[in-house]
Chains A and B, each alone.
Chain A
Amino acid sequence: MSTAETAYRGRAPWLLAAPALLLFAGIVLVPIVMTVLLSFHDWGQYKGIETIITLKNWHEIATDSYFFEIFLRTFRIALLTTVISVLIGAPEAYILSRMAPPWRGVFLVIVLGPLLISVVARTLGWALLFGSTGLINVALVRLGIVATPVQFMFTETGVVIGLVHVLVPFVVISVWASLQRLDPQIENAAVSLGGSGFTVLRRIVLPQVMPGILSGAIVVFALAASAFATPAIIGGRRLKVASTLAYDEFLNTLNWPLGAAVAVLLLIALAAIIVGSNRFVERRYAEVFR
């Protein structure tokens, strides 16, 4: 009886997970493996895809500076987006945590609510604001800050602004979560020992929320480097990043093997960066995760 029960308990989690495992194997694993294989196939304007194994696409990506430039731009935009998101998101989370209850709830909804709104709708809003007769440029010219309208559309500046808007809530959530674990008595103790407001913030609060800031930053970086909708709408076809390049190779040039190689390279680069920085955060702040 007891052995039967142990056997059942041993199998139960596998039975529960089986449907999802099969679905994942069929719909995630197989297509990804096929994409990796596809990146080694040959392609020609007239012959289409040839199922031979060649390093042609990878050689092209490695040697053509066009691809290097696009990957460099992708990670430059992602890095800039991450830095700005942290610089404005972390203080905002701190300010929110110091607010009195009714306002705190209201503003938390305002800040996190946009995550539920489609990225396309929000980015279109920026496209409306960015134009040379858009509200931002009208305001800047009227205030005398600039003489001629600033070009936001099809520029990296515009893409970064759009991405920060889409991704900054992730920093706020993550920093907010670590602020909630903070013991307010430690702050009070520091103040009672004569620490100024700034010293308390820098030496007591900041070190404790650092893991929250870093994990938020990793999420933002990963999502910014792989973002599609925002660079596609604001950057257009003139300012390509890795994801819009892969998309273009697939749906416009129809060079699927090359597109697959770009996609696989993006996947590998991103996975390496995320795993690497996760390791760093976990090792550096091991005591916080205990």
Chain B
Amino acid sequence: MSRNGPVALAFHALFIAFILAPIVIVCAVAFTPEGYLSLPTNGLSLRWFRAIADYPEFVRAFRDSLWLAALSSTIAVLFAVPAALAVARYRFTGREAILAFFMSPLMIPHVVLGIAFLRFFTTIGIGGTFVGLVLSQGTEQEQLIPHGLPE
């Protein structure tokens, strides 16, 4: 294995800086004591984290996000693991078609899926509800499962 030259390492440093910059900046700004954006900041503060705790909407949004993640991934695993087993361990007519069908949401833009869900859920009366959100998230996550299973 040959080593990387100085040009390669310089490129690498720039690449890593590019990847990390926005993430570092978001974290840094979260600790600013000011009420506006200023960098470099005058010291650190947990002011904005306290502010989150003071707003019930924020706390509720966090709680909802966690519930959404937990429920939808549970649904995705429950439905997808048997399906992945079927596709990975058995050879049967229609296997290719099933696989393509399960993978198709990868090709559908999320905004299109979201719009389709919105229309559908409004029609069947669960639009804007948590159940609808969980179902749609679950379906989107489901396609990720078959990747992990060895043939």
Q: A98-B4, A259-B115 are in contact. Are A16 and B139 (CB under 8 A)?
A: no
In the bound complex, residues from chain B placing their C-beta under 8 Å from that of A197 are 2
Q: Does B79 contact A (CB under 8 A)?
A: yes
Q: Quick one: which of A95, A126, A168 contacts B12, CB cutoff 8 A?
A: A95
Q: Does B90 contact A (CB under 8 A)?
A: yes
Q: Does B33 contact A (CB under 8 A)?
A: no
A35, B25: Cβ atoms under 8 Å?
Answer: no
A-B contact count (CB 8 A): 178
In the bound complex, residues from chain B placing their C-beta under 8 Å from that of A61 are none
Q: Quick one: closest B residue to A275, CB to CB?
A: B107
Q: A17-B83, A246-B112 are in contact. Are A92 and B11 (CB under 8 A)?
A: yes
* Segment 238-276 of A: residues with Cβ below 8 Å from B: 243-244, 246-247, 250, 256, 259-260, 263-264, 266-267, 270-271, 274
Q: Does B133 contact A (CB under 8 A)?
A: no
Q: Quick one: which of B26, B89, B105, B112 contacts A264, CB cutoff 8 A?
A: B112
Of B4, B11, B80, chain A has the most CB atoms within 10 Å of the CB of: B4
B39, A126: Cβ atoms under 8 Å?
Answer: no
Interface of A is mostly: helix
Chain B nearest CB from A270 CB (Å) reads: 6
In the bound complex, residues from chain B placing their C-beta under 8 Å from that of A149 are none
B92, A35: Cβ atoms under 8 Å?
Answer: no
The interface-forming segment of A52-60, A107-115, A208-216 is A107-115
Interface of B is mostly: helix
B25, A247: Cβ atoms under 8 Å?
Answer: no
Chain A: residues with Cβ within 8 Å of the partner, total of: 66
Chain A nearest CB from B71 CB (Å) reads: 14
- Distance A93 CA – B106 CA, assembled complex (angstroms): 24
Given contacts A95-B9, A247-B114, A266-B112, 4 further A-B contacts (CB under 8 A): A9-B90, A17-B98, A98-B2, A122-B23
Which residues of B are in contact with A by a Cβ distance under 8 Å? 1-4, 8-9, 11-12, 15-16, 18-26, 29, 37, 39, 78-80, 82-83, 85-87, 89-90, 92, 95, 98, 101-102, 104-105, 107-120, 123, 135-136, 138-139, 142
